[in-house]
Chains A and B, each alone.
Chain A
Amino acid sequence: NAGVTQTPKFRVLKTGQSMTLLCAQDMNHEYMYWYRQDPGMGLRLIHYSVGEGTTAKGEVPDGYNVSRLKKQNFLLGLESAAPSQTSVYFCASSYRGLSQYFGPGTRLLVL
């Protein structure tokens, strides 16, 4: 039982490049979330999903897209990376919106 895993753990991008972050959970949770964590800002919700095939915007969705094609996976895409997207990204999953379980995080540096 791996819980929530994230791929990759660390990535460096140049401005304008694209990439996809993968989140996978093996707890059969319906809800999945993507957050970014910046110094002094806490965690801010980017997008979330309440079930396979559904997604919704969170607090800071601009510049990101997501997809939930399979219940266990939640992908976060950056189409054209900007330095302002340098952050630590956390994925989480929960059973019907209750306690969230987090992945280990992905450190992204955009130059």
Chain B
Amino acid sequence: AQKVTQAQTEISVVEKEDVTLDCVYETRDTTYYLFWYKQPPSGELVFLIRRNSFDEQNEISGRYSWNFQKSTSSFNFTITASQVVDSAVYFCALSEKGTGNQFYFGTGTSLTVIP
């Protein structure tokens, strides 16, 4: 079974629109970490955020915000006022303490921001 599900394969938005990328995870561990990574067209993987399972506070960083809800096992990522430079593939990932901190990645969401 997929531990991290990103149901949105591709999303297109017009510049300045807001967009939310969904991430649903599955774990039986009580201690785990959730991550978002960005992979721009150049191919490198860029770390965006890490949350631990004991901290459900939402986080905002500039135009980026993250909504962590344990009740629905979701860790969604919202980009406000999207820009062309936000065009990339975004990956959600899960790390469980119980499995030696192995990382499990979702299949990614490809975001295209149209100027």
Interface positions of A (Cβ within 8 A of B): 31, 33, 35, 40-45, 48, 50, 56, 58, 88, 90, 92, 94, 96-102, 104-105
Residues of A with C-beta under 8 A to B37: 102
Cβ contact of B45, chosen from A56, A58, A90, A97, cutoff 8 A: A90
Q: Shortest distance in angstroms between B95's beta carbon and chain A's nearest beta carbon?
A: 6
CB <8 Å contact, A104 and B43: yes
Cβ contact of A99, chosen from B35, B43, B100, B108, cutoff 8 A: B35
For residue B44, which residue of chain A has the nearest CB?
A: A104
Given contacts A56-B100, A98-B33, A99-B50, A43 and B43 within 8 Å (CB-CB): no
Q: How far is the CA of A56 from the CA of B99 in the complex (A)?
A: 11
Q: How far is the CA of A48 from the CA of B105 in the complex (A)?
A: 15
**Considering the complex of A and B, which 4 residue pairs feature the smallest CB-CB distances, nearest first?**
A97-B101, A102-B45, A42-B107, A43-B105
Q: Shortest distance in angstroms between A92's beta carbon and chain B's nearest beta carbon?
A: 8
> What does the 1/0 interface line of B84-108 toward A look like (CB < 8 Å)?
0000000101010100111111111
For residue B9, which residue of chain A has the nearest CB?
A: A40
Query: How many interface residues does B have (CB within 8 Å)?
Result: 22
Cβ contact of B108, chosen from A42, A50, A104, cutoff 8 A: A42
Residues of B with C-beta under 8 A to A99: 35, 47, 50
* Residues 41-86 of B at the A interface (beta carbon under 8 Å): 43-45, 47, 50
For residue B2, which residue of chain A has the nearest CB?
A: A42
Residues of B with C-beta under 8 A to A56: 100
Q: How far is the CA of A93 from the CA of B57 in the complex (A)?
A: 27
CB <8 Å contact, B105 and A98: no
For residue B39, which residue of chain A has the nearest CB?
A: A37
Sample of 7 further A-B pairs with CB below 8 A, known A31-B101, A98-B33, A105-B44: A33-B103, A42-B105, A48-B102, A98-B95, A99-B47, A102-B37, A105-B43
